[in-house]
Amino acid sequence: MMGKSAQSGLAYLLPLVLVTFILYPSSYGTAVEAFLIINSLLSKSTKSAMAIAATEQSSIVVTLTREDGKNEKLRKKIQDNNPLINRIDVLELPCIAHAVGPDFERLSSTLISEQWDYIAITSPEAANVLVSAWDAVRGNPPPVVAVGRATEEKLKDSGIAVAFVPSKATAATLAKELESFDGEKPTSVLYPASAKAKKTLEIGLASRGFVVTRINTYDTVTATWLDDQKESSERVQVACFASPSAVEGWLQNTEQNTRVFAACIGETSASACKELGWTDDQIFFPESPGLDGWIDAIEKATEAVEDGSSSKT
């Protein structure tokens, strides 16, 4: 692109061309040709500058809110799939962090305390925690069930076989679809969970006659932002949420900003947004939770920003 100084220089040449024509009429052809060339260069330079300025002003700012170090896969998916990618500015603003839960130290001893019919894992982070204690039962592993494909993938990548994944990646669906065993004893389930996880799974299974032992092996806490992160958040138009904890972390760090569009990984996060102040037309989520559906929700949210911008022009 032509700089401002070059543009000024070309503009300065135009009156010289006109003076040349007046003083030397015989140079008419050369003067006109020079005038047209200079005018064309100025026009192209101005249009280029205007286009770049318009692009910068109309960038759609999307933020990724998972814990630090776990946003890269989503970032790549957005860059590979969103048709508006040339207009998207992706920021990483972690809203949550993971900490050791009150029952973490007794996970290994609980795993070997009895022969569990199932180990229920309901998040990739819960999978990571299970992996850390898996050596205790590696020689005689109990069946492990995963709430969804992302959790299943995390377990399989660590060498843990997955016996069952429900048709929909929610705790309610897992509780409804998990097979019970006939026998003298009720089907037993060990549930290593987040301290903040709702009781949906354990209540659902208990209502069907399962015996569930829950231990809180990790906790999800709100990430603390620096001043520059808070300043960056003021530009955000689409926030991507993978959990209710991330939604709460966003609100705590942004002084309750519900003006952004919320692109949620699934219904659970979307419900949290609605409960905490977003309107239905601000929330986008797939019917079936998962990364691909999440990408579709993000695309729809960015299109909503685009439509809103277009309606104002």
212-264 confidence digits (pLDDT tens):
999 999 999 999 999 999 999 999 999 999 999 999 999 999 999 999 999 99
User: What is the assigned CATH class of domain 98-220?
Assistant: alpha beta
> Is 251 in contact with 132 (CB distance < 8 Å)?
no
Angle at 186 between CA 183 and CA 188, to 5 degrees: 120
What is the percentage of the chain residues whose pLDDT exceeds 70?
Answer: 80
User: Alpha helices, DSSP H only, in 123-258?
Assistant: 124-133, 149-157, 171-177, 200-206, 227-233, 244-253
Q: Fold identical between 60-95+223-311 and 98-220?
A: yes
Q: What is the pLDDT of residues 246-255, one digit of tens each?
A: 999 999 999 9
CATH architecture of 60-95+223-311: 3-Layer(aba) Sandwich (3.40)
In the predicted model, is pLDDT for residue 12 greater than 60? no
107: CB partners within 8 A, 6+ apart:
129, 130, 132, 133, 192, 215, 217
Return mean pLDDT, the chain: 85
* Band of residue 131 on the pLDDT scale cut at 50, 70, 90: very high
The domain limits of the chain are 4-54, 60-95+223-311, 98-220
Instruction: Kindly indicate the confidence band of residue 84, based on its pLDDT and cuts at 50, 70 and 90.
Output: confident
List the structure tokens of 249. Answer: 């972390």
Q: What is the pLDDT of residue 47?
A: 40
- Is the pLDDT reported for residue 45 higher than 90? no
Q: In this model, does residue 28 exceed pLDDT 70? A: no
**How do beta strands 88-92 and 118-121 pair?**
unpaired
Confidence at 46, pLDDT banded by 50, 70, 90: very low
Cα 44 to Cα 217: distance, rounded to the nearest angstrom: 62
